[in-house]
């Protein structure tokens, strides 16, 4: 298994080929991820790797994501078939595992589920998911971002639940689909937090 610094180096050279705006987003997410990791006692190096890795396939067109999914054996649900952009996490995780030597299971899962979340996410996965939404440039997309940030500094679970509840409510109100993994993640957080 390549050690972490080697993966970091490989990632950095991959990032250089991404569009400028996407690179800038990734580095802002890295900064948020490091802040959250410090607060929640999560390994800084893994938080950084997860942030740098999460959008490695974000610039890949939908048709290519569908083709790569079938090549990599990534399951494509009805919701993803309709909106292939959702596959950039799962395809990115597979690409990193196959070509860049990503062997850390939790990092793989963090990249894989960063768009929809998943009931099985560990603290690192929750952190990457939230850091992505807390990119300051997304404040216009998520009007409640300041509150989400405060919550995330306090509890990754509470922040993730808040985000999923709000986004799901909005999607339902607009008559849009909800990814089954998001629904399951929300259910499991509610049951866990109810204790």
Tell me how far apart the terminal alpha carbons of the chain are, to the nearest angstrom. Answer: 38
DSSP assigned state of 176: -
Rounded least distance, CB 178 to Fe ion, Å: 18
Rounded least distance, CB 54 to Fe ion, Å: 5
Task: State the Cα–Cα distance between residues 73 and 172, nearest whole angstrom.
Answer: 30
> Tokens 């929640």 sit at which residue?
40
**Helices vs. strands in the chain: H and E counts, helices first:** 11, 0
Rounded least distance, CB 25 to Fe ion, Å: 6
Rounded least distance, CB 26 to Fe ion, Å: 7
Nearer CB in complex with Fe ion: 3/16: 16
* Count of CA atoms in the C-beta half-sphere (13 A) of 47: 24
What is the Cα gyration radius of the chain? Answer: 16
Nearer CB in complex with Fe ion: 23/77: 23
Nearer CB in complex with Fe ion: 60/161: 60
Nearer CB in complex with Fe ion: 32/161: 32
Task: State the Cα–Cα distance between residues 90 and 88, nearest whole angstrom.
Answer: 6
Rounded least distance, CB 133 to Fe ion, Å: 8
Rounded least distance, CB 165 to Fe ion, Å: 20
Nearer CB in complex with Fe ion: 97/112: 112
**Nearest residue to 18 (alpha-carbon basis) of 54, 57, 66:** 57
Question: Given the rule CB under 5 A, which residues bind Fe ion?
Answer: 55, 58, 132
**Nearest residue to 87 (alpha-carbon basis) of 77, 96, 99, 97:** 77
Nearer CB in complex with Fe ion: 85/168: 85
């Amino acid at each position: 298994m390549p050690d972490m610094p080697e993966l970091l180096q490989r990632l950095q050279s991959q990032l250089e080929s991404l569009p400028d705006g996407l690179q800038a987003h990734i580095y802002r997410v890295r900064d948020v991820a490091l802040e959250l990791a410090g607060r929640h006692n999560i390994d800084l190096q893994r938080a950084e790797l997860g942030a740098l890795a999460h959008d490695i396939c974000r610039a890949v067109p939908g048709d290519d994501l569908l083709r790569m999914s079938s090549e990599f054996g990534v399951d494509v649900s009805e919701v993803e078939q309709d909106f292939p952009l959702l596959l950039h996490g799962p395809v990115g995780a597979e690409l990193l595992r196959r070509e860049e030597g990503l062997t850390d299971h939790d990092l793989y899962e963090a990249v894989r589920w960063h768009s929809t979340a998943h009931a099985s996410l560990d603290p690192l996965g929750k952190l990457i998911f939230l850091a992505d939404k807390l990119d300051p440039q997304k404040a216009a997309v998520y009007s409640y971002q300041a509150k989400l940030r405060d919550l995330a500094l306090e509890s990754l679970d509470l922040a993730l639940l808040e985000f999923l509840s709000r986004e799901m409510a909005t999607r339902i109100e607009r008559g849009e689909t909800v990814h089954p993994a998001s629904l399951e993640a929300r259910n499991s957080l509610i049951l866990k937090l109810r204790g």
